[in-house]
Amino acid sequence: MVSWTSSPEYIHSDDGSTDGFDVYPTQQIDEEEDSETDGDRREKKKPSQNPINSRRSIKKMKALVEGLSEERRALVRQMGFEGLLHLPHIKRSNTQHAMWLMSKVDEKASAVVIDARRDLPFDDSDVRKVLGVTSEGVPVEKVAASHVGDSVREILGINIGDNKITHVVKVVQLEYVGPMTKAQARKFKVAFAICALTFLLAPPLKHNYFMTDYWSALHIPDMIQMYN
């Protein structure tokens, strides 16, 4: 049976064990806890210990998806990103718990380590089941050739060195009169993929900027769904 201990940061079982898993943090990173008070002194709040900064924003991704026309939603399905059209409304998430869970992942074994004798294996198909994004095909090269980056920037209409996600978001939000042309559809696909990676799937450390590590999968927009 699971019960609360005197510390708000951890969950333990009554017998001191952890039900198979080590203890894990349950605090929200943006919450503050009340400190103890003396007499009639007002309660003061102190920030959570070991704060974790995450650039992931389900809220931003959800807002972006909700503004899509049916034509653009169809393009998202073509890309193999259909699951992102059904993101739930999540206002807050426990980032410390997420980081604890990630610390249990054995990348080489593709498993979540429970203890010395047990683990929970997973594979690419599980990622698709949970997130609804493409999980089959050609592996994405970690470092894209310079001409690939130039090609992607040309499709988006952004300059070399411009890595601000706000410019890419504007591309996704562009409204067109009449059906989209092939060039407009390709531009949308590339921009949407970058937003999905930046806001949700692989958020960068720097706020309001995107990474280019995965661009080798974007320079041919109609083949995005062919990459894992």
What digits encode the pLDDT tens for the residues 148-192? 889 999 999 999 888 899 999 999 999 888 999 999 999 999 999
What was the pLDDT predicted at 140?
82
| Percent of the chain surpassing pLDDT 90 | 36
- The candidate with the shortest Cα–Cα distance to 84, out of 60, 53, 102, 55, is 60
Q: Where are the domains of the chain?
A: 1-33, 58-92+135-226
| Residue type at 212 in one-letter notation | T
Q: What is the pLDDT of residue 13?
A: 37
Higher pLDDT, 44 or 206: 206
Report the distance separating Cα 212 and Cα 198, nearest Å. 10
* pLDDT tens digits, 197-220: 999 888 887 878 898 888 989 989
The answer to whether 209 and 163 have CB atoms below 8 angstroms apart is: yes
93 has pLDDT over 90 = no
Res. 12 pLDDT band, cuts 50 70 90: very low
> pLDDT tens, 112-159?
999 889 999 988 888 888 888 877 778 888 777 788 889 999 999 999
The torsion angles phi and psi of 199, rounded to 5 degrees, stand at -85, -25
